[in-house]
Structure 1
Amino acid sequence: MTTFTAWKFDTPDGARAAETALKAASSDGLVTILDHAVVEWRDGEPKPDLHHGHEDKWRGTGWGAFWGLLFGGLFFVPLLGAAAGAAVGAISKAVAAVGIDEAQLQTIREQVTPGTSLLCAVTTDGDLDRLGERFHGLHSTLVATNLTDAERSTLMETFG
């Protein structure tokens, strides 16, 4: 099963630490990373920085377009009021294939603010119990996933 997750961290460097743990878990066979992206929003900066993982070179262009659409629409297009809601609605149609709905997009937009960071990952074959051990203590909040409610509950218990 392919899983999309978005984890928010209360520091601009938190997602980078989680990215390191995710890559180590992948190297140890605990998960297969199809692709990932890190959004870092430093205090005082008008917009966040996006770093795309490029795990699969063959499909990297496709994932780059996906991350660009997702985060470009959420953070880089200057939007106010109703225009922001309309843009989130348009983005949700474009990324629906990954299982991200409009409410999750809105949550990402609201949660990621200056001084925070976000790790988004598209993965398969994850061993949640062992992955949870790797992520323990990183102080993250799951803000979006395409998992079922039962799977999400397991994920939250595992990752604390």
Structure 2
Amino acid sequence: MTTFTVWSFDTPGGAEVASGVLRDAASEGLIKIVDRAIVSWPEGAKKPTTRHTHEDEWRGTGWGAFWGLLFGALFFVPVIGVAAGAALGAIHKSMEAVGLNKDQLDRIRAQVTEGTSALFAVTEDGNLDRVGERFHGLHGELIATNLTDEERRLLLETFD
């Protein structure tokens, strides 16, 4: 099963550390990383920085488009204001098509704020409980959205 996960951390560097933990879990066969991205929002910064790790160079452009759309919906479009309402509605519809509803986007947006970070990952064949155990001590919270086969197909077709 393909899973979209977001781990939020209460420090700007927490997601970077968690990314290494996730990579180690993958090397031990606990999970297969399809792709991942890191958002870090340092204290005093007006907006977060994002970094896509390009797990698979061949598919990197498609995943880059997905991450760009997602991060735009979460962090950049909302600051434009009411004038962007129609555009934001269209982005929310696009995200719903791949299994992320408005409530989930709002929850992620509320948790990733100045002074925090988040690790976003699309994974397969993983034991999220065992992987999550490895994040203990990193002061993070796991938000998981399991994608159905149809949502996965649509996600890959749209962004791959």
TM norm structure 2? 0.82
What is the aligned-residue identity percentage? 61
Q: Give 1:146's aligned residue.
A: 145
Equivalent positions of 1:79-158 (< 5 A) are: 79-80=80-81, 82-83=82-83, 86-143=86-143, 145-147=144-146
Between the two proteins, the alignment pairs up a number of residues equal to 146
2: CA distance between counterparts of 1:10 and 1:86?
32
2: CA distance between counterparts of 1:86 and 1:113?
24
Unmatched segments (≥5 aa) in structure 1: 149-160
Q: Give 2:46's aligned residue.
A: 46
Answer with 31-40 or 132-141: which moved more. Answer: 132-141
Amino acid aligned to 2:39: V
CA separation of 1:86/1:8 partners in 2, compared to 1, >3 Å: closer, same or farther?
farther
**Residues 113-143 of structure 1: CA deviation (Å, up to 9, x unaligned):** 1100011110001023432332222211124
Amino acid aligned to 2:13: D
Cα distance, 1:73 vs. partner?
2.7
RMSD: 1.9
TM norm structure 1? 0.82
Query: Residue 88 of structure 1 contacts residue 105 of structure 1 at CA under 8 Å; is this kept in 2?
Result: no
Q: Give 2:68's aligned residue.
A: 68
SS in 2 for 1:12: coil
Cα distance, 1:108 vs. partner?
1.5
Equivalent positions of 1:5-24 (< 5 A) are: 5-24=5-24
Query: Residue 89 of structure 1 contacts residue 102 of structure 1 at CA under 8 Å; is this kept in 2?
Result: no
Unmatched segments (≥5 aa) in structure 2: 148-160
CA separation of 1:60/1:84 partners in 2, compared to 1, >3 Å: closer, same or farther?
same
2: CA distance between counterparts of 1:133 and 1:73?
30
Q: Give 1:151's aligned residue.
A: none
SS in 2 for 1:18: helix
2: CA distance between counterparts of 1:14 and 1:2?
24
1: CA distance between counterparts of 2:9 and 2:141?
7
